Structure 1
Protein backbone atom coordinates (compact mmCIF):
# COMPACT_ATOMS: atom_id res chain seq x y z
CA UNK A 1 0.00 0.00 0.00
CA UNK A 2 1.21 3.46 -0.84
CA UNK A 3 0.14 6.92 0.22
CA UNK A 4 -1.82 7.35 -3.01
CA UNK A 5 -4.02 4.32 -2.20
CA UNK A 6 -4.85 5.83 1.16
CA UNK A 7 -5.79 9.15 -0.44
CA UNK A 8 -8.03 7.49 -3.03
CA UNK A 9 -9.81 5.44 -0.36
CA UNK A 10 -10.45 8.47 1.84
CA UNK A 11 -11.56 10.59 -1.12
CA UNK A 12 -14.10 7.93 -2.08
CA UNK A 13 -15.37 7.27 1.46
CA UNK A 14 -15.06 10.85 2.77
CA UNK A 15 -14.50 9.60 6.34
CA UNK A 16 -12.97 6.47 7.84
CA UNK A 17 -11.73 5.40 11.22
CA UNK A 18 -8.21 4.20 11.76
CA UNK A 19 -9.66 0.76 12.48
CA UNK A 20 -11.51 0.75 9.12
CA UNK A 21 -8.37 1.79 7.26
CA UNK A 22 -6.32 -0.85 9.04
CA UNK A 23 -8.84 -3.54 8.14
CA UNK A 24 -9.24 -2.43 4.53
CA UNK A 25 -5.51 -2.24 3.80
CA UNK A 26 -4.53 -5.21 6.01
CA UNK A 27 -1.97 -3.02 7.77
CA UNK A 28 -1.36 -2.33 11.44
CA UNK A 29 -2.75 1.00 12.64
CA UNK A 30 0.73 2.06 13.76
CA UNK A 31 1.95 1.78 10.16
CA UNK A 32 -0.88 4.00 8.88
CA UNK A 33 -0.45 6.78 11.43
CA UNK A 34 2.65 8.39 9.86
CA UNK A 35 0.95 8.46 6.46
CA UNK A 36 -2.20 9.99 7.92
CA UNK A 37 -0.17 12.60 9.79
CA UNK A 38 1.55 13.52 6.52
CA UNK A 39 -1.82 13.96 4.81
CA UNK A 40 -3.02 16.10 7.73
CA UNK A 41 0.10 18.31 7.42
CA UNK A 42 -0.53 18.68 3.69
CA UNK A 43 -4.13 19.74 4.39
CA UNK A 44 -5.70 16.87 2.46
CA UNK A 45 -7.13 15.11 5.51
CA UNK A 46 -8.26 16.21 8.93
CA UNK A 47 -8.60 14.22 12.09
CA UNK A 48 -12.05 14.62 13.58
CA UNK A 49 -12.40 15.24 17.31
CA UNK A 50 -13.01 12.08 19.33
CA UNK A 51 -16.50 11.51 20.73
CA UNK A 52 -17.17 12.19 24.38
CA UNK A 53 -16.34 9.23 26.61
CA UNK A 54 -19.31 7.05 27.43
CA UNK A 55 -18.07 6.38 30.95
CA UNK A 56 -15.02 5.31 32.88
CA UNK A 57 -14.40 2.21 30.79
CA UNK A 58 -10.96 1.98 29.23
CA UNK A 59 -11.68 -1.12 27.16
CA UNK A 60 -12.51 0.66 23.89
CA UNK A 61 -10.08 0.40 21.02
CA UNK A 62 -8.84 3.93 20.26
CA UNK A 63 -8.54 3.14 16.56
CA UNK A 64 -12.34 2.91 16.31
CA UNK A 65 -12.71 6.48 17.53
CA UNK A 66 -9.78 7.97 15.62
CA UNK A 67 -11.61 9.20 12.51
CA UNK A 68 -10.15 10.94 9.49
CA UNK A 69 -12.01 13.02 6.92
CA UNK A 70 -11.03 13.88 3.37
CA UNK A 71 -10.86 17.66 2.92
Structure 2
Protein backbone atom coordinates (compact mmCIF):
# COMPACT_ATOMS: atom_id res chain seq x y z
CA UNK A 1 0.00 0.00 0.00
CA UNK A 2 2.77 2.45 0.85
CA UNK A 3 4.53 1.62 -2.43
CA UNK A 4 1.40 2.57 -4.36
CA UNK A 5 1.16 5.85 -2.40
CA UNK A 6 4.81 6.54 -3.18
CA UNK A 7 4.20 5.85 -6.87
CA UNK A 8 1.15 8.11 -6.99
CA UNK A 9 2.99 10.91 -5.16
CA UNK A 10 5.86 10.84 -7.64
CA UNK A 11 3.53 10.57 -10.63
CA UNK A 12 1.62 13.60 -9.40
CA UNK A 13 4.59 15.80 -8.51
CA UNK A 14 6.96 14.42 -11.19
CA UNK A 15 10.03 15.19 -9.04
CA UNK A 16 10.61 15.13 -5.28
CA UNK A 17 13.32 14.83 -2.70
CA UNK A 18 13.73 11.81 -0.44
CA UNK A 19 12.91 13.98 2.57
CA UNK A 20 9.72 15.34 0.98
CA UNK A 21 8.59 11.84 0.04
CA UNK A 22 9.28 10.50 3.53
CA UNK A 23 7.30 13.37 5.04
CA UNK A 24 4.40 12.90 2.63
CA UNK A 25 4.23 9.18 3.42
CA UNK A 26 4.90 9.62 7.14
CA UNK A 27 7.69 7.06 6.88
CA UNK A 28 11.36 6.88 7.72
CA UNK A 29 13.63 8.06 4.89
CA UNK A 30 15.44 4.68 4.99
CA UNK A 31 12.17 2.82 4.33
CA UNK A 32 11.26 5.15 1.46
CA UNK A 33 14.76 4.86 0.02
CA UNK A 34 14.39 1.06 -0.17
CA UNK A 35 11.11 1.43 -2.08
CA UNK A 36 12.66 4.03 -4.38
CA UNK A 37 15.47 1.59 -5.15
CA UNK A 38 12.86 -0.97 -6.24
CA UNK A 39 11.12 1.55 -8.51
CA UNK A 40 14.48 2.64 -9.91
CA UNK A 41 15.44 -0.97 -10.76
CA UNK A 42 12.12 -1.34 -12.57
CA UNK A 43 12.81 1.81 -14.59
CA UNK A 44 9.82 3.74 -13.21
CA UNK A 45 11.92 6.48 -11.59
CA UNK A 46 15.44 7.81 -11.79
CA UNK A 47 17.65 9.43 -9.20
CA UNK A 48 18.92 12.75 -10.43
CA UNK A 49 22.56 13.83 -10.07
CA UNK A 50 23.65 15.74 -6.98
CA UNK A 51 22.93 19.42 -7.33
CA UNK A 52 19.67 18.90 -9.25
CA UNK A 53 16.68 21.01 -8.33
CA UNK A 54 13.66 19.48 -6.64
CA UNK A 55 11.46 21.74 -8.74
CA UNK A 56 10.32 23.94 -5.85
CA UNK A 57 10.95 27.65 -5.75
CA UNK A 58 12.24 27.66 -2.17
CA UNK A 59 15.93 27.95 -1.41
CA UNK A 60 15.90 26.26 2.00
CA UNK A 61 17.63 23.09 0.81
CA UNK A 62 21.26 22.45 0.05
CA UNK A 63 21.11 20.92 -3.46
CA UNK A 64 24.39 19.08 -2.89
CA UNK A 65 22.84 17.08 -0.04
CA UNK A 66 19.46 16.36 -1.60
CA UNK A 67 18.47 13.06 -3.11
CA UNK A 68 16.06 13.97 -5.90
CA UNK A 69 13.94 11.38 -7.68
CA UNK A 70 11.99 11.87 -10.89
CA UNK A 71 9.09 9.88 -12.32
CA UNK A 72 9.82 8.28 -15.68
CA UNK A 73 6.86 8.01 -18.02
CA UNK A 74 6.47 4.63 -19.64
CA UNK A 75 6.91 4.74 -23.40
CA UNK A 76 3.69 4.91 -25.33
CA UNK A 77 3.39 1.43 -26.79
CA UNK A 78 0.69 1.11 -29.41
CA UNK A 79 0.20 -1.88 -31.60
CA UNK A 80 -1.03 -1.29 -35.10
CA UNK A 81 -2.73 -3.91 -37.17
* TM-score bucket (shorter structure): 0.7 to 0.9
Unpaired segments ≥5 residues, structure 1? 53-59
Aligned to 1:17: 17
Aligned residues, how many? Answer: 63
Where relative contact order (Cα < 8 A, 6+ residues apart) is larger, the structure is: 1
Inter-CA distance 61–22: structure 2 relative to 1 (3 Å threshold): farther
TM-score (norm 1): 0.79
Which structure carries more helix by proportion?
1
C-alpha distance in structure 1 between counterparts of 2:38 and 2:23, whole Å = 20
Q: In terms of Rg, which structure is larger? A: 2
Q: Runs in 1 of length 4+ with deviation above 3 angstroms?
A: none
Contact in 1 for aligned 2:18/2:68 (Cα 8 Å) = yes
Unpaired segments ≥5 residues, structure 2? 53-60, 73-81
Instruction: Output the aligned Cα RMSD.
Output: 2.2
